[in-house]
């Protein structure tokens, strides 16, 4: 059997599982947004790869919570570079499929590590963006909060709050910072309601809060599906491993489900 036939057969198996499901849970990572042309900050095609920043420090130190407090200009310099590299990109077919599935199932939830906002832009309603959204800015002192399309009109870097003049920052989880408590509580609450199937899409699942839903589902006999061209930390435990890119695989999955 050819590799392509194996690939299609596994997608067909996943599509068949969906017919017994009402509540779907997707976990997504950089792989789904890579299909929109977004670079990662390291790795193949990354913005920084194995290079240090202009300041001679790792990028993780430059965009850390500690640096944002002590020298926000450094953090903003690289956050702005990341936003500019992603500017003009939009959601892709993979994001659209998850949004379209809302019409066919009782509930579709998405836990995403991505900060691009593409899931909501594509129409998904139940999104837990655990790392935040780079387009949402909040003052570090007062209650000012705003959503911007991009950073081109922000003026000075770091930008200042229009209400109090203090530094604003993106509502994203920087290195060394805690995950937002409200989003963690929402995640736990929805898991208590139960899910019928779990998909891991385009993530290496290196963080425990990303891999644990898959492990929990496997332990409780909830079907698990991974879509990723490479092997990850959960590849050995999922019921169906689809070795393909996110957008293409999800589009084929949705097509096969509707044709069955």
pLDDT for 248-260, tens place per residue? 999 999 999 999 8
Secondary structure (3-state) at 224: strand
3-state secondary structure of 27: strand
Statement to judge: residues 100 and 212 lie in one domain = yes
Cβ–Cβ < 8 Å for 144, 116: no
Residues 154 and 183 in one domain: no
Same domain, 83 and 201: no
Q: List the catalytic residues.
A: 131
CATH of the domain at 32: 3.40.50.1220
Residue 1 has pLDDT above 70, yes or no: no
DSSP per residue, 57-90: S-HHHHTBHHHHHH-HHHHHHHHHHHHHHHTT--
What's the domain range around 145? 59-88+136-172
pLDDT digits (tens, 9 = 90+) for 135-164: 999 999 999 999 999 998 898 889 999 999
Query: Considering the domain boundaries, does residue 48 fall inside one?
Result: no
8 Å CB contact between 112 and 29: yes
The set of residues, in sequence order, having a beta carbon less than 8 Å from that of 187 and lying 6+ positions away, is 111, 128, 130, 209
Residues 194 and 209 in one domain: yes
């Amino acid at each position: 059997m050819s590799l392509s036939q194996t690939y299609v057969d596994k997608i067909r198996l996943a599509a068949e599982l969906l017919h017994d499901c009402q509540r779907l849970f997707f976990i997504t990572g950089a792989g789904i947004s890579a299909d929109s042309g977004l670079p990662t900050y390291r790795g193949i095609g990354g913005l920084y790869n194995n290079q240090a920043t202009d300041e001679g420090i790792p990028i993780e130190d430059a965009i850390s919570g500690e640096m944002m407090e002590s020298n926000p200009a450094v953090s903003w310099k690289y956050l702005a570079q990341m936003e500019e590299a992603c500017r003009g990109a939009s959601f892709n077919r993979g994001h659209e499929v998850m949004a379209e599935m809302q019409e066919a199932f009782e509930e579709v939830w998405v836990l995403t590590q991505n900060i691009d906002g593409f899931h909501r832009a594509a129409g998904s309603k139940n999104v837990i963006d655990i790392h935040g959204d780079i387009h949402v800015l909040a003052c570090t002192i007062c209650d000012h909060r705003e959503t911007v399309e991009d950073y081109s009109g922000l003026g000075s870097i770091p930008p200042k709050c229009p209400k109090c003049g203090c530094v604003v920052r993106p509502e994203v989880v920087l290195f060394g910072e805690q995950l937002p408590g409200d989003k963690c509580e929402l995640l736990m609450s929805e898991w208590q309601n139960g899910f019928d199937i779990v998909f891991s899409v385009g993530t290496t699942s290196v963080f425990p809060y990303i891999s644990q839903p898959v492990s929990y589902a496997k332990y409780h006999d909830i079907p698990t599906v991974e879509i990723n061209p490479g092997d990850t930390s959960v590849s050995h435990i999922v019921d169906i491993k689809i070795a393909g890119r996110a957008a293409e695989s999800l589009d084929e999955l949705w097509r096969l489900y509707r044709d069955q």
